[in-house]
Amino acid sequence: MSSATPTRPDSSSSILAIVGAILAVAAIVVVGLLWFLVSGGYFAAFGRWLYTSDAGSALRYILVSLAMLVPVLLSTAVLIYLERKIWGSVHLRRGPNVVGPWGVLQAFADFGKFIIKEPVIPASANKGVFLMAPLVSVVLAFAGWAVVPVSDGWVVADINVGILYLFAVSSLGVYGIIMAGWASNSKYPLLSALRSAAQMVSYEVSIGFVIVTVLLCAGSLNLSDIVRAQDTRFGFLGWYWLPLMPMFIIFFVSALAETNRPPFDLTEAESELVAGYMVEYSASLFLLQFLTELVAVLLMSSMTAILFLGGWLSPLPFAPFTWVPGVVWFLIKAWSVVFCFSMVKAFVPRYRFDQLMRLGWKVFLPISLFMVVLVAAVLEFTGLGAHVSG
Amino acid sequence: MGAFALIGRFGGFGSRDAGNGVRGGDFQEAGDMAEAVFFWIFATILVGSAIAVIVARNPVHSVLFLILAFVCAAGLFMLMGAEFLAMILVVVYVGAVAVLFLFIVMLLDVDFARMKQGFVQYLPVGLLFSFVVGAELVWVVSGWAVSPKAAAAATPSGTISNTAALGLVLYTRYFYFFQAAGMILLTAMIGAIVITLQHKAGVKRQDIGAQVARTPETAVELRKVPSRVGI
């Protein structure tokens, strides 16, 4: 495989779209099949066993979790490929085009390489914490998907405090980075960990207030209920992105900061910190850290789609559009947000750290705090707010 | 004996009301067994990590064990159907407070050997204190019983969720206490800022407004530089 002269056909954006669509459809089919399997129906006896016995319940939870995790993992591969293609297009390059047709297998080639290389652990590292950090990161990144409703009823755990759970899990993501930075026992990772801790704690505050405004409007902490609350006769104009416009923007920018994405990727700013907290990581340990970032991006995109873009709802609430399965709308919305994440990385220059802190504490925090009061007041005085009496 | 009875009550906790926790009652048939298993897992790890917080030689490891203890405590709250408290514990203590602990402990340049030196010397005092606190705990817990009124009040009426029930109590009955707590926290925050914020003379500060308002006319100055003289 000669990498000097690309002999593959030129990758146009239409081919890109087709590949993305095929992979998305494949993911849907996998989810659908597993769901069909576990929700009874065809394998009636097996289904009954799944729902009646203790062991069946346990197996059911495992199967449902797999039905969630496998598409997420596949999506990370798609995400790597798509992002590199998008950045390539923005930079007038070709992007990956060597491994597989149009380079679609590039992500899998990368995975393979990460796994077969030797993981090097620095002699002065604190070994236990050093090895645990990527595991903590990756477990927390995947744990958030337990409450994400991809369609009406398609959710692993439909808990009452779903949004708080997501918030908690995403705020714990900082531990993977701090632990990695400290355990590496090296200058760059430590500085990176400090930056990351300050950054993520700061932006959690504004994300928290944004979530509070959404909760005030929806009247529930359950993610499915939040989506249902956006199901109005106005279609996509009734989703919260429009009524809560400034919060939508604040949430998107804070999500960039929370996932350490450009323009807020100060934790791994190449020109200052080499690779930040990942400097000492190699092979499969690096793969886990890398995977965490990608999964976090996907999770934040899904969260944006659920909170502000109506989740699985169709943009126009009448016949031909409502026939489309909800999961398709959800995927379209989530991937659109992912596209925005990639585009931001391609053309926004990196912030300086003091600018980042200023934006978080002096701009977003006052605005979001004010909006919480405003939204609560409007809901109260117009009588639109959800009231609980007990 | 009272302590064991208490644990037994939590361990056999099976009366999860339908409005809380996982919807649809999927766990109902999996039953008390799974809850008991989870209770013992969480409780064991909680006690183990609490001991490890004290025993660990490295302070960073202590903080990490403390975080593990917080998470297990959140798990126990979850088992009791107090999902809101569980999530708040994780968000506030694990997500913010412990991050700052870790942040500070990480940067301390501690000589572990010297830190451990006075251990035997302080042991009797420590043992005395722990004995007193332990005795008090046993005394209190063994005499503790749930009043029948509390049990009735703790059960949310009908379909109301745990979070809503908490909000109703907090913002009606205990509203003034809630406000007072908020004021105390605000005072503490302002106090911390007043103590640490010092405007030193001679330090260059950034004025974002002035920076943004700059135009080529105000920012660029053209001058004739005489040859071999300079400005």
CATH number of the domain that residue B55 is part of: 1.20.120.1200
Most A CBs within 10 Å: which of B49, B62, B87, as the mutation test of the A interface?
Answer: B87
Give the DSSP per-residue string, B126-185.
Answer: HHHHHHHHHHHHHHHHHT----HHHHHHHSPPTT--HHHHHHHIIIIITHHHHHHHHHHH
Domain-embedded: residue B207:
no
Q: Does B134 touch chain A (CB under 8 A)?
A: no
Mean per-residue pLDDT over chain A, rounded:
82
A193–chain B Cβ distance below 8 A for any pair: yes
Inform me whether the C-beta atom of residue B84 falls under 8 Å from chain A C-beta atoms.
yes
What is the pLDDT averaged over residues B166-177? Answer: 86
Assess whether B76 and B175 both reside in one domain.
no
Tell me if B211 is assigned to some domain.
Answer: no
Distance CA A150, CA A247 (A): 23
Residue B64 and residue A175: Cα distance in Å, rounded?
Answer: 9
Domain-located, residue B119: no
B58 touches chain A (CB under 8 A): yes
B156 touches A at CB < 8 Å = yes
Nearest neighbour of B94 by CB, restricted to A129, A172, A178 = A172
Kindly tell me if the per-residue pLDDT of A333 is higher than 50. yes
pLDDT band at B9 (very low <50, low <70, confident <90, very high): very low
**B164 and B96 share one domain:** no
**Which pLDDT score, from 0 to 100, does residue B214 have?**
87
CA B4 to chain A, closest CA, distance in angstroms equals 28
Comparing A51-60, A124-133, A332-341, the range with the smallest average pLDDT is A51-60
For residues B30 and A59, the model is more confident at A59
Is B55 part of a structural domain of the chain?
yes
CA-CA-CA-CA torsion for A10, A16, A19, A20, nearest 10 degrees? 160
Q: Are B97 and B161 contained in the same domain?
A: no
- The verdict on whether omega for the bond into residue A149 sits within 30 degrees of 0, i.e. cis, is no
Q: Is the pLDDT of residue A287 over 70?
A: yes
Model confidence pLDDT, tens digit, residues A264-277: 888 777 777 787 78
Look at B94 and A126 and tell me if their CB atoms are within 8 Å.
Answer: no
The upper half-sphere exposure of residue A169, i.e. CA atoms within 13 Å in the direction of its Cβ, equals 24
Query: Same structural domain for residues B6 and B106?
Result: yes
- Predicted confidence at residue A13, as pLDDT, reads 60
* One domain for residues B8 and B86: yes
Q: What percent of chain B has pLDDT over 90?
A: 16
End of a domain among B84, B110, B136? B110
- Which residues does A116 contact at the CB level (< 8 Å), separation at least 6? A283
Question: Taking 60 as the threshold, does the pLDDT of residue B155 lie above it?
Answer: no
- Average pLDDT (A255-264) is 85
Average pLDDT (A356-374) is: 90
Q: Per mean pLDDT, which of B18-22, B33-37, B153-157 is the most reliable?
A: B33-37
**pLDDT at residue B40 tops 70:** yes
Q: What is the pLDDT of residue B49?
A: 92
B175-B177-B183-B188 Cα dihedral, nearest 10 degrees: -150
What percent of chain A lies above the pLDDT cut of 90?
A: 8
Same domain? B1 vs B106: yes
Minimal-distance CA residue of chain B relative to A173: B95
Q: Do B30 and A58 touch (CB under 8 A)?
A: yes
**In chain A, which residue's Cα lies nearest the Cα of B20?**
A160
Range of weakest confidence among A18-27, B14-23, B34-43, B161-170: B14-23
Q: Which residues of B touch A168 (CB under 8 A)?
A: 87, 90-91, 94-95
B117, part of any domain? no
* Chain A nearest C-alpha distance from B84 (Å): 7
Confidence of residue A337 (pLDDT cuts 50, 70, 90): very high
pLDDT band per the 50, 70, 90 thresholds, residue B156: low
State the smallest CA–CA distance between residue A40 and chain B in angstroms.
Answer: 15
pTM of the model: 0.77
Residue A141 contacts B where some CB pair is shorter than 8 Å: no
Q: What is the mean pLDDT of the segment spanning B14-31?
A: 42
pLDDT at A48: 66
Identify the band that residue B86 occupies on the pLDDT scale cut at 50, 70 and 90: confident
DSSP per-residue codes, A309-347: S-TT--SS-SHHHHTS-HHHHHHHHHHHHHHHHHHHHHH
- Smallest CA–CA distance, residue A181 to chain B, in Å, is 10
Q: What is the ipTM of this complex?
A: 0.73
Choose the mutation target among A139, A164, A357 for the interface with B, i.e. most B CBs under 10 Å. A164
Decide if pLDDT at A35 tops 80. no
Nearest CB among A57, A159, A174 relative to B21 is that of A159
User: Which residue among B110, B126, B144 closes a domain?
Assistant: B110
User: Do B91 and B30 share a domain, yes or no?
Assistant: yes
Torsion of CA A342, A345, A346, A352, to 10 degrees: 170
pLDDT, one tens digit per residue, over B50-71 is 998 888 878 888 888 998 999 8
- Three-state DSSP at A52 gives helix
For residue A71, name the pLDDT band (cuts at 50, 70, 90): confident
B94 and B7 within one domain: yes
Residue pairs spanning A and B at CB distance below 8 A: 95
To the nearest whole percent, how much of chain A has pLDDT over 70? 90
Asked if residue A389 has pLDDT above 70, the reply is no
Which residue in B60, B88, B165 is closest to A390 by CB distance?
B165
Contact A310, A239 (CB under 8 A): yes
Q: Choose among B33, B83, B102: nearest Cβ to A161.
A: B83
Do both B31 and B98 map to the same domain?
yes
Does some domain include residue B203? Answer: no
For residue A159, which residues of chain B lie inside 8 Å, CB to CB? 21-23, 83
Query: Is the pLDDT higher at A11 or at A142?
Result: A142
Residue type, A186: S
Q: List A residues 355-374 in contact with B (Cβ-Cβ < 8 A).
A: 358
Domain that holds residue B36: 1-13+22-110
Give yes or no for B211 touching A (CB within 8 A).
no
Chain A contact set for B107 (CB, 8 A): 194
More confident residue, B148 or A204: A204
Q: Which of A48, A152, A172, A363 to mutate to test the interface with B (most CBs of B within 10 A)?
A: A172
Region A303-313: mean pLDDT is: 88
In a domain, B172, yes or no: yes
Whether B4 and B106 share a structural domain: yes
Tell whether A386 lies on the interface with B, counting CB pairs under 8 A. Answer: no
Instruction: Check whether B7 has a pLDDT greater than 70.
Output: no
Give yes or no: residues B163 and B95 share one domain. no
B49 contact residues in A (CB cutoff 8 A): none
Give the distance from residue B83's alpha carbon to the nearest chain A alpha carbon, in angstroms.
7
Domain shared by B5 and B88, yes or no = yes
Contacts of A171 in chain B (CB under 8 A): 90-91, 94-96
Which residues in chain B have Cβ-Cβ distances shorter than 8 Å to A54? 29-31, 33-34
Interchain pair A129, B61: CB under 8 A: yes
Residue finishing a domain among B110, B129, B145: B110
B96 touches chain A (CB under 8 A): yes
Q: What's the confidence (pLDDT) of residue A345? A: 86
- Cα–Cα distance, B23 to A281 (Å, whole number): 41
Per the CB < 8 A criterion, the answer to whether A149 and A222 are in contact is no
Task: Looking at the complex, report in whole angstroms how far the Cα of residue B128 sits from the nearest Cα belonging to chain A.
Answer: 34
List chain A residues with CB under 8 Å of B84: 161, 164
| Chain A contact for B206 (CB, 8 A cutoff) | yes
Query: For A318-331, what is the mean pLDDT?
Result: 80
Q: How many structural domains compose chain B? A: 2
Whether B142 is in a domain gets the answer: no
Contact B170, B179 (CB under 8 A): no
Provide the terminal-to-terminal Cα distance of chain A, rounded to the nearest Å. 70
Choose the weakest-confidence range: A11-15, A16-20, B23-27, B109-113: B23-27
Q: Which of B87, B100, B160 is the closest to A165 by Cβ?
A: B87
